[in-house]
Amino acid sequence: MEQQTLTSHSYLTFRLGDETFAASVNHVLEILELSKITKVPRAPHFMRGVINLRGNVLPVIDTRIKFGLDKADDTVNTCILVMNLESEKQKIMLGALVDAVQEVREIEQSSIQPAPSIGSKYRSEFIEGMVKVNDQFVMILNLALVFTTDEVSIIQETAEEKISIA
Amino acid sequence: MDSNQKRFVEDALDLLNELDEGLLQLEANAHAKAPLEQVFRTMHTIKGGANMFGFDNIGELAHYLETLFDLVRQGKTQVSDKLISITLQAFDKVRDLLKEKTFEAITRKDALYDHLTAVHAFHRTIDASLTGADLVTPAGNLKKDELATFFVNVTPLISMTEDGNHPLVFIVQDIAALGTSSVKVTKKQSLEIAQWEIFLSTTTSQAELESYFIFVEDESRATFTRLAAGDLFEQPEFIQYLKSVEDKPVNLDELRSVAGLHDDEAKKKTQQIEEEAETQGKRKVLNDTYIKVSKRKIDDLLNWISELIILQAQFANTASKLNVASLTDTTEQLDMVTRQLRDTSLEIGLVPIETLVTKFKRLVRDLSKTLNKKVNFLSEGAETEIDKDVIELMTEPMIHIIRNAIDHGIESPADRKAASKAEHGTVKLRAFTASSYVNIIISDDGKGIDKERVLQKAKEKGLVDAEAQLSEDEILNLIFHPGLSTTAQVSDVSGRGVGMDVVKQKINELRGHLSLKSLPGRGTSIHIRLPLSRSIIEGLLVKIGVSDYIIPLAAVDKCYEVPSKSLTPDGCQKLLLDGQPVPVFYLQEIFRDQAAIPEVMQVIKINYDEHPVGITVDNIVGEYQTVLKPLGDMYQRQEEFSGATILGNGAVALVLDTDKLVKQLVRQQQASLM
C-alpha cells in the first residue's frame, strides 16, 4: 500500500482550449456547474467575479485568461473547480473556470518528465512536469503557484510580447 | 505553549489589568485596605498560576513583590510612591513578556532580572529601617474605637464622574467599606457628581475618617457628623428613614432626631455588629455571572447564524411566490425569530469598554507624571459594549488621541493658573450607544488647537496653497493630513510619526466616523462613531445593470431622481442638487456595465470627507441589513469594495466602500486632467 502511494498519485485532468492539464486532487475540493457569477468592477480581467458557495463568497478566476488563451464563451461543459490552496504567503479558497473536466487518473511518479525550461509556452516554475497520456502530452500544474501568483498571466514573457498588468 | 499555558497567559493579562486598577487606587489613597487586599490577592493568583504552569521567572518576581505588599499588610511599612512605581514597572514588563508568542521567549531567564534587582534593593531599604527601630505601630495594637454611626457629606469641588479616576471616588468606596454603610450619590444633569451622602457604622474613629480626605482637601469638602453610638442600621426606624430620603437631600436635624432615639440601646451590641461589618465590607459582588468562551466558537456561531439569515431570506422569497396563507404566517415568525437570534448572538461578542478605561487611567497617570501636568481623567459610560475586535483595533488610536490631549491640549499647572483655570486639567471619555453605532467622545479642557499654527505649518510643508483661504473646519481637518505634526519639537510622548492620519484611517477601516471640534482656550473634543459590529452592515441595496450593490447607510445623505439625458457618461460632472453644485460620478460607466441605461437615474448624495459627492445608480431597491463577507485576498486591490454579501435570492451583492471609491475616482479625475 505504502509503496503504491509513494509512486502513484491521483490527478484531475481538465481541458482549456486544445490543451489538457492535470492537477493533484489534493487541492481540488469539488467541481461546480457554472452558476451566476457576479462581476467585480475594476478588478484585473482574469478575475471573472464572485459566486455564492453555500453562503460564502468565492472568487472565480478565468483560467483561460490566466493561461494566455483567448476569451471564449461559456458552454454547458464549462465548470468551476473549487480549490483550497496554500502557498508560503497565504491560504486561500478559490474557483477556477475550465472548459471541461475530463477524468481523475493515477499517474506513476516515474512516468513524469521534467518540464522543458526552453521552448515551452508556460513559465517553468508553474509546471511540475509533463506526462504522456494517450499519445498526448499533459502538463501537470503547480496549482498553488499558478493561482496565488500576483502575475496576471503564467505564459513566458518575451521582449516582444510583454504583458501589461491591468 | 500547551492549552493550559495559553489560558494562563490570557488570565494573567486580565489579572494585570485588575492589578493596575488596584495599584492606582492605592496610590490615590495609601491607607485604603480594600485595594491593598485586592492587589495582594491578585499578585498571589498570578504567582500561583505562573509557578504551576512553568513561568518561573514571573512566579519569582510576583513572589518578591507579594512579600513587599505583605509587609504593608502587616503594618511594617507603608505604601509609598516608590513601591507603587516599582510594582507597576515590573508588571508592565511582565505584560510585555506575556505578549510574546513562544513559551521560551516568555520564560527567558534574564528578562525580568532588572526588575528583580530593583525589588530586592527596595526590600533591603525596608529591612534596614525595620531593624533600626520598630517605628511603625503594628495595626493590631491600635486601640479600636467603639462602634458608632456617622453621617459623612462629601462635596467635590471639581468635576468628576463615578467611573473616573479621581482619588475621591476611591476614597468614598474605601470609607464605605469600613463598616455597614449606605452611600447616596447625587448627580448633576451632566452625570457629574454633586455630592455623596454616606451613612456608615464603623469602629473607625472620626479623626481617622477625616484623615482619608487629607490629600483631597483642595478638591472636596467633607463634613462629619457622629449620629449615635452603635449600629443604626440595626434599627428599623433608621432603615425606614434611609428609604424616605432616597431621593431628597438629607436634613441634618431630622436625621439627628431619628438617630437620637436609639443612641443608648445600640451601644450594647458592638460585638455582634463588628462581624456583620466585616461581611458587609466584602459585598462588592456582581449580580451577573460570566463564562469564558473561546472567540472561535463565537465566530462559528455568528457564521452559522449569518447562513441562517441568508437561508431564511431565500425561504421567504420562495414562500412569497407560492402565496400560501399558512406558510406566510410561519415565514413571518421565522423572520422575527431569526432577527432576535441574530441580535442576541451579536451581543455575545460584545465586551464593555471598561478594559480600555483602566488602560487609559494608567496612561493618564503615567503621562501626567512625565509631563509634570495635573490631569484628572473622567469616564462615563464605561459599561457601553462594543465588538472585542473593534476594541482591540481602537486601543492604539484612542491612546494616541489621549496622548495628544495631555501632551498638546492640557497646559502646565502654571499656565493654567495664569489663564485662570483650575490647575487640574480634565480629560473626559464619554461612551454611549445610539442606534447601531457606538459613540466615543474624548474631550479635554486644554488650550485647544492653534489653528493659525496648523495652517502655517501646512503652508510650510506645501500641503495647502500659500494663498488658500480655508474655513475653520478645513483647517482643523488638516490635522488628519499625513505629514503634518504640529509640535515644533518631537517629544517622547506624541509626534513620533503615527499621526492623526493613522487614527483616522483606522477608524475608516472599521467603517466608523471621526469628527473634531476645538475652541481656543477651551479645549478639544474628538467624536468617534463606530458600527457595533464589524460584520453586520446597514445599507442601501441598489442596482447597476445586472449587478446588485450595497451602499452603507452611514455614508448616504440623500437620494435624487435625475433624467439620464441630463448626465453625460464621461467621468465626473457637476449637477445642481438642492441648489448646490455637487460633483457626480457616473458609476455605470465607471463599472463598465453594458446593460441599457434607464430613462431616469438615481443620484445618491454621499458624504466624502464632509464634501457632498453624488454617484449614479440605475435604481434603489431599499434598505437592507446584511452580513458582510470578505472578498478574499484575490481582490485585495479592490479597495472600493469592503466585501460582499449574499442576498435573499442567493445572488452576491458587492458592498461599496464609498470613501475609498470616491478617493480613487477623484485621483483618476485629477490624473486625466493633467
Exposure class string for A113-123: b at 16+ Cβ within 10 A, else e? eebeeeeeebb
Q: How many CB pairs under 8 A join A and B?
A: 67
Cβ of A52 and B651 within 8 Å?
Answer: yes
| B662 closest CA partner among B594, B595, B615 | B615
CATH value at residue A21: 2.40.50.180
The cell for B370 is 512625565
Across chain B, mean pLDDT equals 80
Question: Residue B305: closest CA among chain A residues belongs to which residue?
Answer: A55
- With a cut of 80, say whether residue B230 has pLDDT above it: no
ipTM surpassing 0.85: no
Residues of A in contact with B637 (CB under 8 A): 43-44
Q: pLDDT tens-digit profile of B313-365?
A: 778 878 888 888 888 888 888 888 988 887 788 788 788 888 888 888 888 88
To the nearest whole Å, the CA of A49 is away from the closest chain B CA by 9
Cβ of B634 and A51 within 8 Å?
Answer: no
Distance CA A161, CA B36 (A): 76
Q: What percent of chain A has pLDDT over 70?
A: 80
Residues of A in contact with B638 (CB under 8 A): 40, 42-43
* Confidence at residue A95, expressed as pLDDT on a 0 to 100 scale: 92
Longest dimension (CA), chain A: 51
Residue B644 near chain A (CB below 8 Å):
yes
- With a cut of 80, say whether residue B493 has pLDDT above it: no
Expressed as residue numbers, the domain containing A102 is 2-148
**Taking the CB of residue B230, how many other CB atoms lie within 10 A of it?**
23
Total domains present in chain A:
1
- Structural domain includes residue A158: no
- Structural domain includes residue A54: yes
Q: What percent of chain B has pLDDT over 90?
A: 4
| Test mutation, A35, A36, A38, A54, chain B, max B CBs within 10 A | A38
* Confidence at residue A161, expressed as pLDDT on a 0 to 100 scale: 44
Residue A57 near chain B (CB below 8 Å):
yes
Residue A90 near chain B (CB below 8 Å):
yes
Cβ of A40 and B635 within 8 Å?
Answer: yes
Residue B640 near chain A (CB below 8 Å):
yes
Residue B307 near chain A (CB below 8 Å):
yes
* Confidence at residue A151, expressed as pLDDT on a 0 to 100 scale: 64
Q: What angle do CA B458, B462, B468 make, to 5 degrees?
A: 70
- Structural domain includes residue A156: no
Taken in order B472, B477, B483, B487, is the CA torsion positive or negative? positive
- Structural domain includes residue A128: yes
- In this complex, the residue of A38, A44, A59 whose CB is nearest that of residue B632 is A59
- Structural domain includes residue A159: no
Residues of B in contact with A42 (CB under 8 A): 590-591, 638, 640
Question: Residue B311: closest CA among chain A residues belongs to which residue?
Answer: A55
Residue B395 near chain A (CB below 8 Å):
no
Q: pLDDT tens-digit profile of B267-286?
A: 444 444 444 444 444 444 44
Q: pLDDT tens-digit profile of B366-382?
A: 888 888 888 888 888 88
Residues of B in contact with A94 (CB under 8 A): 632, 634
In contact, B196 and B224? CB cutoff 8 Å: no
Of B589 and A90, more confident: B589
Q: pLDDT tens-digit profile of B480-489?
A: 877 665 544 4
Distance CA B142, CA B208 (A): 12
With a CB cutoff of 8 Å and minimum separation 6, the contacts of A66 are: A46, A146, A147, A152, A153, A154
- The mean pLDDT of A140-156, rounded to a whole number, is 73
Lowest mean pLDDT among B215-219, B238-242, B274-278: B274-278
- In this complex, the residue of A36, A41, A50 whose CB is nearest that of residue B591 is A41
| pLDDT band for position B597 (cuts 50, 70, 90) | confident
| Test mutation, A37, A42, A47, A149, chain B, max B CBs within 10 A | A42
Distance CA B274, CA B204 (A): 11
Of B264 and B674, more confident: B674
To the nearest whole Å, the CA of B6 is away from the closest chain A CA by 25
- Structural domain includes residue A166: no
**Taking the CB of residue B465, how many other CB atoms lie within 10 A of it?**
10
| B581 closest CA partner among B617, B605, B557, B549 | B605
Of B160 and A48, more confident: A48
The cell for A42 is 475594476
- With a cut of 50, say whether residue B449 has pLDDT above it: yes
Distance CA B179, CA B400 (A): 42
Cβ of A43 and B638 within 8 Å?
Answer: yes
Q: What angle do CA B474, B476, B477 make, to 5 degrees?
A: 65
- Structural domain includes residue A157: no
